[in-house]
Amino acid sequence: MSFSVAQAKANMHGMYGNYTGAMDNAKTTAYRAAVRAFRRRHGIAPSQYFTQECITASVSEVKELQSMLSRLGFSVGAAGIDGRFGLVDGGATGAAVEAYQRTRNLRADRIAGSMTLSALRAEYAAKTRPQSAGQTGRGIDFGKYPNFKASEFACRGGWCCDGSLHLLTEDIVAVAQRIRSHFGRPLIITKVGGVRCDALNRVTQGSIAGSQHTKGKAIDFYIPGVGVSAVLAYCRQLQSRGVIRYCYTNNTNMRGAVHVEVG
Ligand SMILES: [Zn+2]
Ligand SMILES: [Zn+2]
């Protein structure tokens, strides 16, 4: 996918206004300065070149902007969410930014600066938040799992979301009930051991991006009165029978809990 100097200029103008000047392919002093500022803002090593890494970062930030605008009802044009500001006045994306700014009493300059972006992010988050913490995602009938309530599996970051129970899969609930029934004792899911929304997962110690927790397919738990090694031994049996995909524990960030995930 080609990405011209003019396109880099249009994107650097549209986001934070780092570049101002003609949207042509000339590598001017203003362009070089904007590239340096762009790289700094993205934590990319200093240089005057708009490298592939810059293209990727730029396209993704413009896509985020375009997604928020369209979700809030401001059309970004026929090309859709393509990660590009138009070369003439920002094109349809620039027009959408301006329309948004006018309706929110922000300075209508077609530039997505920090004030425009924080207003957009707040509205977007409010709009995309799950309905309520009590919802049992994917229609799971908790009547079948007598020892559990949906809320025990919810994302409990508190600050990050309303529980994200829409992500929860029934397979992991069934596994929790099976382990609980085997030991005949309460199974306690740790505070960050149920569903994790992406925001919570990012700040959870020892987590990996795209963890099964973010898909509602993993739990970290302990069973008071039963040693970790006994819990793990049973989970390994479940793994060898194909009931779960993987289980593990460690002493660095699990603190005696066992992680179990389904595929
Ligand atoms: Zn959350
Ligand atoms: Zn885990």
Span 156-209, pLDDT tens digits: 988 888 899 999 999 999 999 999 999 999 999 999 999 999 989 988 888 888
The chain-wide mean pLDDT, for the chain, equals 91
Ligand that lies nearest to the alpha carbon of residue 193, given by its number in the listed order: 2
Centre of ligand 1 from the C-alpha of residue 154, in Å: 8
CB 223, CB 188: distance < 8 Å: yes
Reading the block at residue 255, the tokens are: 């603190």
All residues with CB under 5 Å from ion ligand 1 = 155, 157, 160-161, 197, 200
201 CA to middle of ligand 1, Å?
8
Spatial distance between the Cα atoms of 10 and 19, rounded to a whole number of angstroms: 8
Name 219's Cβ contacts closer than 8 Å, sequence gap at least 6.
153, 172, 175, 176, 189, 193, 194, 213, 259, 260, 261
Secondary structure letter of residue 218 according to DSSP: E
Q: Which two tokens stand for residue 121?
A: 């992010």
| Residue 92 structure tokens | 């349809």
Position 147 scores a pLDDT of: 92
Give residue 223 CA to ligand 2 midpoint distance, Å: 15
One-letter amino acid for residue 121 of the chain? R
Domains identified in the chain and CATH numbers: 5-128 (no CATH), 137-261 (3.30.1380.10)
pLDDT for the residue numbered 159: 83
pLDDT for 132 = 47
In 10 A of CB 129, how many CB atoms? Answer: 12
Predicted confidence at residue 261, as pLDDT, reads: 97
Backbone angles phi and psi of 15, in degrees to 5: -100, 115
Positions of the chain with pLDDT under 50: 132-135
pLDDT value for 126: 79
pTM of the model: 0.53
